Structure 1
């Protein structure tokens, strides 16, 4: 019996109208969006939303980041990284966002003990201009799987050109 958590990531067409209602009409950069979570009433933002937003403002000032205000913050008691649901405007691609996340995680994990494997939970919504549809990328896994997901998206972008 394997007790290790499952690593997974997916790219799906977005059909959640509650999230679509929160997407800004005309924006640039990254927008942190509230989301529903399990049986929690109302929309929330994930635990690391504030730290992640501040880190981007300091370490990637060329990328604009905005966060909606007035939503409850979900506090989870674990060593995992719970990054917020974000909307990527047309000037920020999914591979660029995943590289920003990778750099953020590298900074956060520098002081971790060797062998510690923190899990990462993140979601990003973006508009696929070719198909005219909104898509959602969900990731739940360790940092090594995130690196392989980034390479896959970079390769796919290269193959599309």
Structure 2
């Protein structure tokens, strides 16, 4: 499945790059770096990040055996995270090219890409961090409602009465 997504990203970015060349070949006096400088730099950076993250995810980082502190499960999580980063960067490059070619459709796909981009870290946060924080939050809640620093309800009613 991941190989198919990477093939899709490579094909889409190649095809959209050709369409960008065709679009700006007709405009002899302009280039995409003149009209959409920030977007073109973002495309370049996201493509570099895609290639780097995909390479690290598939080949791994070289490290000496004595410095190997990652366990097998951590290394698999690391490769999975790098794979997700490469997918997001590759799709971002394609979406940014859409914003140049067909701006309304490009901004719509950019909004959808942002939703997916926010969903992945939220999913990681809920699955990894929340179970670790839940006991701490319960402990803090119990301490906060145990009576220390909590004003009883009858004192609140007495304070709200107007003076007689």
Same fold (TM over 0.5): no
Higher relative contact order (CA 8 A, sep 6+): 1
More strand by share: 1
Using structure 1 for the length normalisation, give the TM-score: 0.32
More helix by share: 2
